Every structure is written in C-alpha cells, then in structure tokens.
Structure 1
Amino acid sequence: MSIRPSRRLALAALAAGALVLSACSAGSLGTSDEEGTTTVSYLVDNEASTVKTAEALVSAFNAKNSSIQVKIETRPQGGEGDNIVKTRLATGDMADVFGYNSGSLFQALKPEQNLTPLDDQPYVGDLDPAFKVTVTAGGKLYGAPNGAAMGGGILYNKAVYTKLGLQVPKTWADFMANNAKIKAAGVAPVVQAYQDTWTSQVIVLADYHNVAADQPDFAEKFTANQAKFATTPAALRSFQRLQDVHDAKYLNKDFASAKLEQGLKLLADGKGAHFPMLTFTVATLAANSPDKIDDIGFFALPGDDAAKNGLTVWEPGGLYVPKSTTGAKLDAARQFITFVVSKEGCDIMAGASTPSGPFVVKGCDLPDTVPAAIKDMQPYFDSKATSPALEFLSPVKGPTLEQITVEVGSGIRKAADGAALYDQDVKKQAQQLGLSGW
C-alpha cells in the first residue's frame, strides 16, 4: 500500500545530475580522520532535493564544528537503494549516519540487531508521539525525524468556497453536500487524475485516521490477519467513499485520462474544487501556478464523526546510527543528528526545499512563507488529531492497490468487491513476508 510519489515524479535529468555512489565503502569517501578531527559519513538517497537539503545541513554543521566533519555519500532510490542499505548493514559497512524510511520499511532493517538506540538523546521528549511509533522496535527508539511530515487529504480551492459560501467539512456527509452545491455552480466537485494511477489510492489511504478512530487496533489486527478491509465496516467505508464520488458524478470529465499536473491545474484555475491528494504536490502547485497558490487550502479527509475529525499523516523518514558506528564517531554522529532536529536544522531544511507539512519536533515551526495549504495542516498537529498512515504501522502492503482503486473510482468495480480483492492481494504479500497467522 506504500506510496512513494516523490520518487515517481522525480525528473530524470535531476536524478541523473545528482551524485551517485551506489555502493561505495566508507573509506573511499575520506572517512579516515585527520589529526584532531572526527569524520562522519552520512548516507542519503540521490533524489535532487534530498541531496540539496543534506548539503545545506552538512555545510552549516561543519562550519560550527571544527572538530567534526560530516561527509555525504549517496545511494540510488527504490529497490536498488533498499538492497544497498540492507547489505551494508549486514556486512558492517554502513555509513556512520544514514537516512531511510520510517514505519514498516524501518522494521525490515531488523533495528534491534543492526541499529543503535537513541532513547537517551536530548531531543526525544520533543518528538511527536505519532512519529516515535514509526521508529520504535522492542520498546526502544532508533530514529530521529529527517524532514517534515506529509498529509493525505483534500486540497481545495478557497476562492470557489468563498464564492459559494461553503465551510470546510468535518464529516463525509457535509463534504458530499458541498460537492452538490459545487456541481450546481458548474464546477467539477472532485478532481481525479487516473492516468497517474497511484493518485487513485489517496481517498482510501487518507481515510486511515477515520478507520483508526473507529477501530484503534485495526493495524495490529490487520497485520495478524485478524481484520480485513472487506469485513471491517470502518475500513470498507474507505473504498465506499471512493465509489461515492464517482456514483454521484462528481468527477472531472477527463478523470480517466488526466495526469497529476493537469488535475492540479484544474484545481488552481477553479475549474475543480477538491483534489484528494498528498501535500508534497503543493510545491508543484506553487511552481506551476504561482499566482493561484494563495487560493489553495487543505483539509483532512472527512469521516463520519466530526468530533473525531483528524489527519492521516505520512511520517518523515528517519536518521539512524548503525551498531558499527562506535567510539568518537558515535558521539559525533549523535551530535550531528541533534543538530538536524534542532530549530536551526529545521530552518535550514525549510529553506532548502518547500516543506510538505509541519515538522514533528516541538519548537520547529513552519516559516511564514509556506503556502496556505501547508499552514492548514498545523492545527491538526497542534491538537494531536493525527494518525500515521497504515503503511507506517503494518508491513502488509498489497502491490496492486492502485489498479483496484482505479477500478472502484471509475465505476468498473464496486467498493465491496474492491476491498475483497485487496484483501486477497495483501494475503499473498503477507505470506511472502512469512508473517504469522497468514
């Protein structure tokens, strides 16, 4: 069920221009220490914005610490990069600090065997509890946040809302009532862009906060094969919401052929009112429609109970220290991570690239210059009305969800059938992982 949209949308030219050192050993990058200096290697993926942010952090840290020098290594993205991380951990050849996913992919690193706990670090008390869950194993915390969170919900055109006198909905019924008024005004109520098939998953995935509000132990039971989408009413509703907007004829006419950037333009131009989406796309909106970015807001996918309204969050990745990092390098690695999660570190990251959402560290505030849609996420974090997306809580992720949600969202398959098909899909994947109960 994993979504990696930034990887899907990375421009080939930028990726090719980034420094690629896919399997370099630590020694090949100058990590032998000069006299009086401890050198720390820092491994990140080679996506252009990731490298840019890492360079900004390292430059600032090195300037402040004459006795420590951090040197950047990069690795490929995707499956090749995953294999490099696992191989280097297994052989004891991992960089002194490395960035990697939080959640289920973090668990696959066998953290208790391969990583150094960070429970005793000074920033731990300032971390958002929802993030801590995604980097904890065996009761110990192994990761610090590497960047900002990302929300899944509804990007909406505030100018359309103002013109029609609409209020941000907190229930699905109110959302659908807004859609009816929007359609009557001649505007497409819900934008979809199924030519980019991954986008079809957003309603289902962003509904997870509502699932968890109704059944808090769903992720645990789902992982243990004790709860399913088709037979858990709250989870089945995630698929039903996708069917609802299609059956009510609330979609843009070209939903089947539109691509993501076309959908974003419909929203920015006020020809579409809502776009179920992840907030990393706000940066694309700002770049492509800078004169309309102030018209775009964001709200969490509404559920059935306004009192439980909240946001499904894609937590930031983590920074980790392998057990192979010891002595002075361990102390220096911890010092670097402490800098990254400090207010200064957060400000540097926000300056290097547009944040996809709030930071998950107390005291790290979003700059006033971020788009309104990103600011709209902050109240959910302030009120702790957030839940990590299911993929951060369970390793069970079926590979064909986006094909299933295209069918449900296009009226080809009913919600109940789609949910049942997805349950079959995850069964195969869980069995491949060797999970008990499957």
Structure 2
Amino acid sequence: MTFRPDMRGLAVLAAGTLALTACSAGSLGSSDDSGGGPGASTVTITYLIGNQDQDIKTANQIVKDFTAKNAGITVKTETRPAGTEGDNLVKTRLSTGDMPEVFNYNTGSLFQAIAPQKNLVPLGDQPYVKDLDENFTKTVTADGQVYGVPGGGFMGGGVLYSIPVYTKLGLKVPTTWAEFMANNAKIKAAGGVAPVIQTYGETWTSQLFVLGDFHNVAAAEPDFADRYTKNQAKYATSAAAVKGFEHTQAVHDAGYENTDFASAKLPDGLRMLAQGKGAHYPMLSGVIANMVDTYPDAASKVGLFALPGDDASKNGLTVWTPGGNYIPKTTTGDKLEAAKKFLAFFASPDGCASLSKAAPPTGPYAVKGCTLPDDVPQAIKDMQPYLDKPGGSSLALEFVSPVKGPSLEQITVEVGSGIRKAKDGAARYDEDVKKQAQQLGLAGW
C-alpha cells in the first residue's frame, strides 16, 4: 500500500555511510561536547534525520531557530539513509545504545516496531503533550504512553478541485458521493473540462479513491482496522471498505476521466488542474507546493475537499501524520534535559513557524496553537476545518494497521481502467496483503 512515491519511494534509495553534517548556523556557543559537565559552557546534542534535501533543510532551520532561543545548547545534525536501510540502522543503533540524543523516525506501525517501551523516553509528563493533535498522538503511543512529537504538518488525502470551474458552473463542494458524481455529470455536460483527472502513467497516483476513503470506512465500521489486522475483515466483504474500489470503477464507467488517463503523469495532472482543464484530482496535499511553484495562480484557484462517502453528517478527511521526533533511553543527565527542550520547541507555535520557514506546509500542524501562514495555498487552508471539527478527520489505515500489500497501485489502475471489476480488485488486494501479514507473524493469518 505504498502511496507516496516521491516521499516514500525515494525512501528506498540506497545510501552509503552516514554523513555527519554540522549545522553551523545553529551550533551556537562552545563546541564543547562534555554534556554540561564541570566547566562546560554548553550542552551538545545530536539530531539524527533522513538524508533527503528537504530533511536537511528543515533540520537546519529548526536548529537555527531553537539555538537562537537556547544559547546554552548546541545541536548538531547527523543523517541516515532512507527506506529499509534506514529502518535497519535505527533499530541497530537503538539496540546497541549508539543512538544520538534525538532522532526523527516514522509514526504508526514502524514506530511500534522499534519497541518504544524498551528504547524510548516517555513524554507523558511534558506539559505540551496536551496540545498535540489526537490523530498524531495515536501514532506515537504505546501502552498508554506518548513517546514522540511531530516533525511537520499533516497531509490530507482528498480531492483537489478547480475553484474557477466550480464558480462558473455554480457547483457546491460535495459532502456525499452522490453529490460528487452529480457535479461530475454537470461538468461533463458543459464540455471542455475533464471531470476527474487520473494519471495512471504513474501508477501510485491511482490509489487515492481507496486509501483516501478510509475516514468513511472508519466512520461506518469503527473497528475495521482492528478486525482487518486480525484477518477478521476484508476489503472485498466489507460493505464500507469495498466502496473505494467501486468508486474507482464508477468514475471510469461513467466516462469522467481525462482521455489520456492511461499515460498521463503527475505533472500532467497538476497542469490540467491548475489551468482549469480538469475539475477534480484525487490526490495528497503533499503535491500542492510543487504545483504552486510551477503555476503560482493555483494557490488561489485550487481548493481541496475530503473524499465524500454516503453520509454527509460523517463527512471528513483522511490524514497522513508527519514523522515523529524521539529521545532514546540512552540519553541522560543534562543531555536529556536539552533533548526535552528541543522536542518542546517542535511542539510549540515557534517550532511550527520555523517549519513554515523551511518549507511550505503540507497541511495543518499537529500542535494546538499553531497557525498556518496567511500565504499558504487555499487547498491547504481548506484542510484546517476538518482537523478542527470533532470527528472530522481520521488516520489513514497504514497508521492504525501494519497490514499492507505491495500491489494496490497496479490493482487500482486495472479497476480504474476497466480491466478489472471493483469486487475482483478488492478480492485480489485481500490476497496481496496476506504474505506480508504472515511475514509479520500476525495472529489469525
């Protein structure tokens, strides 16, 4: 169920040895690394991050702003490979007691895999924990203890839409699937605009109607994730879960896709949307910054709404949480206190502002009191009401169940291209996840 190729697919890039990168802009004060012992003027801690350019840029900005307010603390950064190699390195360094004082890593099932109760410092006694969004804390909690703070903003999985098209045709943002399909019918009848953009030339983009629909699945079957993990629920036999596949088929069968859906790629889809040649694009909010960079007018001309389900009263957004920042139990003494201050900065409005300086937000921050910059694109602003509304958002399935399969993107391309029917696609995906669940040793498989 890999869904973010340029965020997760890039994460499989092989990397060699770790590169130690001193953040000169943020390493204020003495370079003494004594940990605050007698005669030391500063405490030095190291922050382990991913090796992608944006990871490094964000860390540099955070370190610079944090140390400007904490002159007695020096923060160095160290990078690690992404993907499986990085996962193995994190586990190895935790098991050998060689982990830096603070590290950034995944949330959800991969967080559970690093044995947080054994390896991490619990943060439940920190005052800022009460200000963390519940969607986030669910993904960094083990045995009732919170262990991490967010390292960025949420991403939403919804429908990016052309505001000018909606305005011209007098359409309203849909809160049910029936309303969405009615809008598509009006757009097609008006001519000249593809109702739904699909870009199967990059197969990962085909999955949104399934993965972004999980808020609706959870609203209809609150225990689906738990039963799914135990092999007691299936996509093909769940009336709620199969709808994502059915919706993928329905859009194709109605002829609502762009004519080049089979070969178009993400840049084509973003261009069509930005130029008003396509009305809807089911997509992650993480692509918005790239679209606006290329098409600045899209900042005000493209909005976002949650994938609609059957019940307007339960309409809400499926969200992907940011990575977490953690402190290993091997961090002690003055270094531990410095590390806690560093994490507290991430979980504060000042920390959110620092993140916004480093890169345009992918969505609202997971910290109460943090606000989005006034100049963020409209589609990002559109996410905030869902996060603010009780019950208005739900975690993507990958954060509440470790059961995933590698072939979903190929299956959804087949369903969305008319090659395979929805029920057959759902059943095929149920088979696809079985091998991984067995490899994980999950009960019931």
TM-score bracket for the superposition, by shorter chain length:
over 0.9
Q: Which moved more, 1:257-266 or 1:85-94?
A: 85-94
Within 1, Cα distance between the matches of 2:132 and 2:189? Answer: 45
Within 1, Cα distance between the matches of 2:366 and 2:16? Answer: 29
Q: Determine whether 1:363 maps to 2:364.
A: no
1:21–1:74 contact (8 Å) kept in structure 2? no
Match 2:267 to one of 261, 270, 293: 261
Helix, strand or coil at the partner of 1:216: coil
1:20–1:46 contact (8 Å) kept in structure 2? no
1:23-422 aligned at under 5 Å gives the runs: 32-33=33-34, 35-186=40-191, 187-384=193-390, 385-422=392-429
Aligned-pair RMSD on alpha carbons?
2.1
Give TM-score, length-normalised by structure 2.
0.93
- Give the CA deviation at 1:160: 0.2
> Where does the alignment leave 5 or more consecutive residues of structure 1 unmatched?
none
2:2–2:204 contact (8 Å) kept in structure 1? no
- Give the CA deviation at 1:47: 1.3
- Give the CA deviation at 1:21: 5.5
Helix, strand or coil at the partner of 1:123: helix
Within 2, Cα distance between the matches of 1:418 and 1:296? Answer: 31
Within 2, Cα distance between the matches of 1:9 and 1:129? Answer: 27
Q: Which moved more, 1:46-55 or 1:167-176?
A: 46-55
2:364–2:383 contact (8 Å) kept in structure 1? yes
* 4+ residue runs over 4 A deviation: 8-12, 23-26
2:160–2:302 contact (8 Å) kept in structure 1? yes
Amino acid at match of 1:105: L
Q: Determine whether 1:436 maps to 2:443.
A: yes
Distance 1:266 1:312, change over 3 A: same
Q: Determine whether 1:426 maps to 2:433.
A: yes
Helix, strand or coil at the partner of 1:425: helix
Within 1, Cα distance between the matches of 2:403 and 2:368? Answer: 31
Helix, strand or coil at the partner of 2:296: coil
| Cα deviation digits, residues 289-320 of structure 1 (max 9, x gap) | 11333110000000000000000000111111
Within 2, Cα distance between the matches of 1:11 and 1:204? Answer: 23
Helix, strand or coil at the partner of 1:297: strand
Distance 1:59 1:417, change over 3 A: same
Within 1, Cα distance between the matches of 2:280 and 2:320? Answer: 20
Within 2, Cα distance between the matches of 1:300 and 1:21? Answer: 42
Within 1, Cα distance between the matches of 2:301 and 2:11? Answer: 27
| Cα deviation digits, residues 246-276 of structure 1 (max 9, x gap) | 1111000111101101111011111100000
Matched residue count: 432
